[in-house]
Amino acid sequence: MTFASLGLIEPLLRALETLGYQTPTPVQAQAIPAVLAGRDLMAAAQTGTGKTAGFALPLLQLLTMEGPKVAANSARALILCPTRELAEQVHASVAEYAQHLPLTTYAVYGGVSINPQMMKLRKGVDILVATPGRLIDLFRQNALKLNQLQTLVLDEADRMLDLGFSEELANIYRMLPKKRQTLLFSATFSDDIRLLAGQMLNDPLSIEVSPRNVAANTVKQWVVPVDKKRKAELFVHLMRKGRWKQVLVFAKTRNGVDALVDKLQGLGINADGIHGDKPQATRQRALDRFKASDVQILVATDVAARGLDIEDLPLVVNFDLPIVAEDYIHRIGRTGRAGNTGEAISLVCADEVNMLSAIEMLTRQTLTRKMEPDFEPEHRVPDTDASGQVVKKPKKPKKPKLSGGGGKRNLGKWVDSGDVAPAEPSIKPVRKVPVFNTGPRKKK
């Protein structure tokens, strides 16, 4: 199959040739004809499958072939993305695909001054890429009207809900013209996403390019059990042993990112961090330097790293497991992209066992465990498998007390350990629901 056989016009084919895209990916093969035919779409596609071109190419074609010229302060197509980085990335791809077309494109997001964005919107833009919060601000300040909107794309819809954008999406929904084409892309499909799709989409065509909730099989994944307090030490050890060159590392919290970056920099390792507390310019600079291999280790929280496309990234390390199991799929999707192979290593301590179990259940696989000599955990990580069960080892029968001994003294490091989890954590089997409900997540 070729892009020409999907019915794409010559200026798009020329752009694809320059980019070196030869064959459509499965999501592109299904999405392009459907979007060109005007259908609404509900697509389950992971990052790295080529989904951006899957919606952007036919969208650009429709905007070129149909519809009136864009009016002042208007947009003809809107692509909503969960984070600033993703908005920038999607916009960069759209602009590349549109390079030979007479269309204008622009990206708006929070964390930067709104005035230049308002100025830029005055003449109107054909394709606007936006994060939900800033889009609403611009709309409320009359810098943007949506009555000319032909197409709405919800990219990474699951993540938008995870980030607490459901209210914003409901507001945006009310701002949209009733007659429009809507394309919804999501790596995973929860009930909430299906509900959103029910409201926003009209007789959508469902596309599923990989089995639901299964991580990319181009990524080799394994787990190294370790005590929490030794994670940083293990990371440095593995890095040196494996001569890692470019690694994207995920930590759970902003403080966790900063602490690891400080530690690595203190050891003379070329590391930088990105998280939601850092100004947008600093985040973008760290990311650009990482992409250019000027930074070797980039440590990030989930919010800052969502959807990033880093060419040929060989390795992702989960310094902490994600609280939401589905984020695991997104994280490891940063590597093994566009047919390349990649590795994803998770450093797992005893009190993360329920998260590990949820990930295994979601991805329907038992992750291989590899013990690293000298780093075997004192606090054993209980066995898990894809059934969602945490297998507790039967307790060893107590040894009879020796007279005169057996006090705390003899327990040595077990008592002095700074780890949070007890030696044999009393863990209940996880619920059969793979997402950890920690309440609404903070919106960035």
Residues at the interface with ligand AMP (CB under 6 A): 21, 23-25, 28, 47-53, 309, 337-338
- Supply the minimum distance, in Å, between the C-beta of residue 65 and ligand AMP: 22
Nearer to ligand AMP, 25 or 61 (CB): 25
Nearer to ligand AMP, 28 or 105 (CB): 28
Nearer to ligand AMP, 49 or 213 (CB): 49
Whole-angstrom distance, CA of residue 45 vs CA of residue 54: 10
- Supply the minimum distance, in Å, between the C-beta of residue 204 and ligand AMP: 20
Strands 247-250 and 383-384: unpaired
- Supply the minimum distance, in Å, between the C-beta of residue 93 and ligand AMP: 6
Chain position carrying tokens 């909430």: 192
- Supply the minimum distance, in Å, between the C-beta of residue 52 and ligand AMP: 3
Nearer to ligand AMP, 48 or 377 (CB): 48
- Supply the minimum distance, in Å, between the C-beta of residue 49 and ligand AMP: 5
DSSP string, 115-176: HHHHHHHTT-EEEEEE-HHHHHHHHHTTS-B-TT--EEEETTHHHHHHTT-HHHHHHHHHHS
115 near 71, Cβ under 8 Å?
Answer: no
SS3 content of the chain, % helix, strand, coil (to 5): 40, 15, 45
- Supply the minimum distance, in Å, between the C-beta of residue 201 and ligand AMP: 21
- Supply the minimum distance, in Å, between the C-beta of residue 410 and ligand AMP: 56
- Supply the minimum distance, in Å, between the C-beta of residue 56 and ligand AMP: 8
Q: Assign residue 369 a region (left: φ > 0; alpha: ψ between -120 and 50; beta: otherwise).
A: beta
Chain position carrying tokens 């403080």: 255
Going 85 to 86 to 87 to 92, the CA torsion angle's sign is positive
Whole-angstrom distance, CA of residue 275 vs CA of residue 277: 6
- Supply the minimum distance, in Å, between the C-beta of residue 345 and ligand AMP: 22
Nearer to ligand AMP, 57 or 297 (CB): 57
Q: Which amino acid is at 438?
A: T
Nearer to ligand AMP, 134 or 337 (CB): 337
Chain position carrying tokens 């989930």: 302
Nearer to ligand AMP, 28 or 335 (CB): 28
Nearer to ligand AMP, 53 or 138 (CB): 53
Chain position carrying tokens 């300040």: 141
Nearer to ligand AMP, 11 or 256 (CB): 11
321 near 352, Cβ under 8 Å?
Answer: yes
- Supply the minimum distance, in Å, between the C-beta of residue 32 and ligand AMP: 10
Nearer to ligand AMP, 283 or 334 (CB): 334
Strands 125-130 and 271-274: unpaired
DSSP string, 390-416: EEPPPPPPPPPPPTT--SHHHHTHHHH
Please report the beta strands in 355-398, taking only residues with DSSP state E, as ranges in sequence order. Answer: 368-369, 383-384, 390-391
Angle at 341 between CA 340 and CA 346, to 5 degrees: 135
Whole-angstrom distance, CA of residue 190 vs CA of residue 434: 10
